[in-house]
């Protein structure tokens, strides 16, 4: 199979955006950006699939947890761009093994998180099939021109992460304790996204969905720069490998101009300076003196 | 399994839209309608899943045809509301059996129709799994307040359909000839959608995805009225059953005020008056003197 990035790069090349299009940003960031005619807002769009056997194993998670997670992953992309969620569309292929009660509880998990975040369930599609697949599209809004993107980091900017990394990867291994809860119950960092957009004037941001090493490489590639980091803060019990390369933490990775005053805690969540953006071959990441391989999760080349 | 409509009705009840929300219309029509702050346009959103084993059988269709159809189904919903497509998001679960070439050709089918209709591929998600599932979200635009909906038909309004019905159902049976081409190659009626919105001032519209009997019932339910129709125009070789109940024709069903001058042909496509909206128990449809059962396609209760 080709690497996920091979397919994505080909599509990015082919899916050209004509000049003057209301599509401000297409393939390659956490969200696409659409600028409605005459509006004070830019709209953000993201979509994420949850597939049985790939993203979860049947019977290891409750339906409401799965539904919640399906929405949380898309909301995390809205958070990464500093947006406020507006509405969601949910397409669900109901698997043959799911009872009506199971299906209702799956949607209840979605609806509960939607209500808590001001996201309206505005539509979707229902189908049926052998295995569950669910695709959640979320629309968010930011003041025109203010979306946080991956491509604004410059040499000298400081690199921060929220929270403690590696918890989701640890939880997937142990399937118990707080790390397993962390894996099943990601928190979209919507309030933090707004803080770093409005107050910290972040120069670039993205969410950590596939692991710090791969995601920071992507941010550096988009921004045309390199970076040097130290060990990121670890979730209790997580290994250095899990913190550096483990996916699904859904914390925010962001850069700020040097000298920006970043609080150590935001609403109880640690914000930690892990390094600095540098000149260098675009996309290279150093951990101290050593190059850090981008071992994070690629769907088509899973970690060995 | 519960009927598709049972799940949808429950979600419609639970997914409330607060007053003042920019979401103008939620679950229950061809598209959701979003009104961006200060914009001259309303935005339309629709999403449609294509699932292996449910919507198609492996190896019976070329990848480019499947990709094209995945996008065409969503574009048909935009056409039904009189919109112009703006962009699409494509989520694809690449099946283990698909080669890189197959995957590229699938996307080429999407990109070709996207280019022909002015739809920009703005993003999406890639995953992998045992079977193919593809979810396509399309955003379209209409001048503010002008979207065609299902709920505007009133007693006395005349009912029209475009094209000849039953071809897709016939093609699914025979898998040969023009009917099979019709099945594999639906045409989103985008220009017609704009005509009936701008020139004919249609009072209600929807696309025929699940069969005339079920779709007209849905239009009548949304509009709080009943209807009487005669036999619709048939695709060559299609039975009366296929024309009345067969799915996937993706023609437009619409109503106009009495006396509206509707051309017999639009760009070579027949527009046929098939009946009239009446007072009566909401959702009832008569074929001449007899009640017409809504036998169209429900994913959870397929036709026997």
Average pLDDT for chain B: 95
Residue pair B17/B23 in contact (Cβ under 8 Å)? The answer is yes
Does B112 contact chain A (CB < 8 Å)?
A: no
- What is the pLDDT, as a whole number, of residue A5? 78
Q: Provide the sign of the torsion angle of the four alpha carbons B230, B235, B237, B241, taken in this order.
A: negative
Q: What are phi and psi of A274, to 5 degrees?
A: -110, -5
Give ranges for CATH 3.30.1330.10 in chain B.
4-143
Report the C-alpha gap between B217 and B203 in whole angstroms: 16
Does B86 contact chain A (CB < 8 Å)?
A: yes
Report the C-alpha gap between B254 and B153 in whole angstroms: 9
pLDDT at A154 over 60: yes
Residue pointed to by tokens 């975040």: A117
Per CB-CB distance under 8 Å, the chain A contacts of B126 are 4, 7-8, 299-300
Does A300 contact chain B (CB < 8 Å)?
A: yes
Contact A129 B131 (CB under 8 A): yes
CATH for the stretch A4-143: 3.30.1330.10
Nearest CA in chain B to A73: B125
Q: How many CB pairs under 8 A join A and B?
A: 243
- What is the pLDDT, as a whole number, of residue A304? 36
- What is the pLDDT, as a whole number, of residue A2? 56
Closest-CA distance of chain B to residue A45, Å: 8
Contact A37 B141 (CB under 8 A): yes
pLDDT at A216 over 50: yes
Does A57 contact chain B (CB < 8 Å)?
A: no
Q: List the structure tokens of B39.
A: 């914009």
Q: List the structure tokens of B124.
A: 């999406």
Report the C-alpha gap between A110 and A87 in whole angstroms: 12
Decide which of A233 and B298 is more confident. Answer: A233
Confidence of residue B302 (pLDDT cuts 50, 70, 90): very low
Does A127 contact chain B (CB < 8 Å)?
A: yes
Contact A46 B123 (CB under 8 A): yes
Q: Residue B121: which of A15, A34, A128 has the nearest Cβ?
A: A15
Report the C-alpha gap between B3 and A263 in whole angstroms: 52
- What is the pLDDT, as a whole number, of residue A59? 86
- Say how many C-beta atoms besides its own lie within 10 A of residue B302's C-beta: 10
Average pLDDT for chain A: 95
pLDDT at B4 over 80: no
Q: What are phi and psi of B230, to 5 degrees?
A: -105, 180
Nearest CA in chain B to A113: B15
First vs last Cα of chain B: how many Å apart? 15
Does B24 contact chain A (CB < 8 Å)?
A: no
Decide which of B67 and B297 is more confident. Answer: B67
Span A75-85, average pLDDT: 98
Does A262 contact chain B (CB < 8 Å)?
A: no
pLDDT at B236 over 60: yes
Contact B89 A139 (CB under 8 A): no
Closest CA to B251 of B160, B176, B181, B173: B160
Span A95-114, average pLDDT: 96
Does B122 contact chain A (CB < 8 Å)?
A: yes
Confidence of residue A298 (pLDDT cuts 50, 70, 90): low
pLDDT at A54 over 70: yes
CA angle B210, B215, B221 (to 5 degrees): 145
Convert the pLDDT of each residue in B69-118 to its tens digit. 999 999 999 999 999 999 999 999 999 999 999 999 999 999 999 999 99
- What is the pLDDT, as a whole number, of residue A163? 98
Closest-CA distance of chain B to residue A87, Å: 8
Closest-CA distance of chain B to residue A294, Å: 19
Q: If DSSP states are collapsed to H, E and C, what string results for chain B?
A: CCCHHHHHHHHHHHCCCCCCCCEEECCCCCCEEECCCCCCEEEEEEEEEEEECCCECCCCCCHHHHHHHHHHHHHHHHHHCCCEEEEEEEEEEEECCCCHHHHHHHHHHHHHHHHHHCCEEEEEEEEEECCCEEEEEEEEEEECCCCCCCCCCCCCCEEEEECCECHHHHHHHHCCHHHHHHHHCCCCCHHHHHHHHHCCCCCEEEECCCCHHHHHHHHHHHHCCEEEECCCCECCCCCHHHHHHCCCCCCEEEEECCCCCCCCEECCEEEEEEEEEECCCCCCEEECCEECCCCCCECCECCC
Report the C-alpha gap between A194 and A177 in whole angstroms: 31
Contact A39 B36 (CB under 8 A): yes
pLDDT at A171 over 70: yes
Contact A23 B86 (CB under 8 A): yes
Contact A126 B299 (CB under 8 A): yes
Residue pair B227/B159 in contact (Cβ under 8 Å)? The answer is yes
pLDDT at A211 over 80: yes
Contact B120 A26 (CB under 8 A): yes
Per CB-CB distance under 8 Å, the chain A contacts of B119 are none
- Rounded to two decimals, the pTM is 0.95
Give ranges for CATH 3.90.650.10 in chain A.
158-291
- What is the pLDDT, as a whole number, of residue A303? 43
ipTM: 0.94
Does A143 contact chain B (CB < 8 Å)?
A: no
Residue pair A157/A204 in contact (Cβ under 8 Å)? The answer is yes
Homologous superfamily of the A158-291 domain (CATH): PurM-like C-terminal domain (3.90.650.10)
- What is the pLDDT, as a whole number, of residue B5? 79
DSSP code for B131:
S
What 3-state DSSP class applies to A262?
coil
pLDDT at A16 over 50: yes
Per CB-CB distance under 8 Å, the chain B contacts of A93 are 49, 51, 54, 133
Q: At what angle do helices B4-14 and A100-117 cross, to 10 degrees?
A: 30
pLDDT at A71 over 80: yes
Confidence of residue B30 (pLDDT cuts 50, 70, 90): very high
- Say how many C-beta atoms besides its own lie within 10 A of residue A191's C-beta: 12
Convert the pLDDT of each residue in A225-257 to its tens digit. 999 999 999 999 999 999 999 999 999 999 999
Residue pointed to by tokens 């027949």: B270
User: Do strands A269-278 and A265-266 pair parallel, antiparallel, or not at all (unpaired)?
Assistant: antiparallel
Confidence of residue B301 (pLDDT cuts 50, 70, 90): low
Q: Residue A139: which of B34, B126, B300 has the nearest Cβ?
A: B34
Per CB-CB distance under 8 Å, the chain B contacts of A247 are none
Report the C-alpha gap between B26 and A143 in whole angstroms: 24
Convert the pLDDT of each residue in A82-92 to its tens digit. 999 999 999 99
Contact A121 B27 (CB under 8 A): yes
Does A184 contact chain B (CB < 8 Å)?
A: no
Closest CA to A257 of A155, A146, A148, A158: A158
């Amino acid at each position: 199979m080709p690497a996920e990035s091979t397919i994505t790069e080909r599509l990015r090349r082919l899916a050209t955006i004509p000049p003057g299009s209301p599509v401000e940003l297409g393939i390659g960031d956490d969200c696409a950006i659409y600028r409605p005619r005459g509006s004070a807002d830019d709209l953000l769009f993201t979509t994420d699939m949850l597939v049985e056997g790939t993203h979860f194993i049947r019977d290891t998670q409750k339906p409401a947890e799965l539904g919640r997670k399906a929405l949380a992953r898309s909301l995390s992309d809205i958070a990464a761009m500093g947006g406020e969620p507006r509405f969601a569309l949910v397409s669900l292929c109901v698997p043959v093994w799911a009872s009506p009660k199971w299906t209702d509880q799956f949607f209840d998990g979605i609806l509960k998180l939607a209500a808590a975040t001001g996201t309206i369930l505005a539509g979707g599609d229902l189908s049926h099939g052998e295995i569950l697949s669910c695709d959640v599209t979320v629309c968010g809004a930011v003041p025109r021109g203010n979306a946080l993107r991956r491509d604004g980091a410059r040499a000298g900017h400081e690199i921060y992460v929220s929270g403690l990394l590696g918890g989701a990867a640890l939880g997937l291994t142990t399937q118990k304790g707080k790390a397993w809860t962390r894996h099943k119950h990601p928190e979209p960092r919507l309030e933090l996204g707004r803080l770093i957009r409005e107050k910290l004037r972040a120069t670039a941001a993205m969410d950590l969905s596939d692991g710090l090493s791969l995601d920071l490489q992507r941010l550096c590639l988009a921004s045309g720069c390199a970076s040097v980091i130290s060990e990121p803060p670890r979730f209790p019990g997580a290994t250095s490998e899990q913190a550096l390369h483990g996916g699904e933490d859904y914390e925010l990775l962001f850069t700020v101009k040097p000298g920006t005053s970043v609080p150590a805690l935001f609403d109880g969540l640690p914000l930690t300076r892990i390094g600095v953006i540098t000149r260098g071959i675009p996309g290279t990441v150093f951990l101290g003196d050593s190059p850090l391989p981008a071992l994070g999760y690629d769907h088509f080349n899973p970690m060995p």
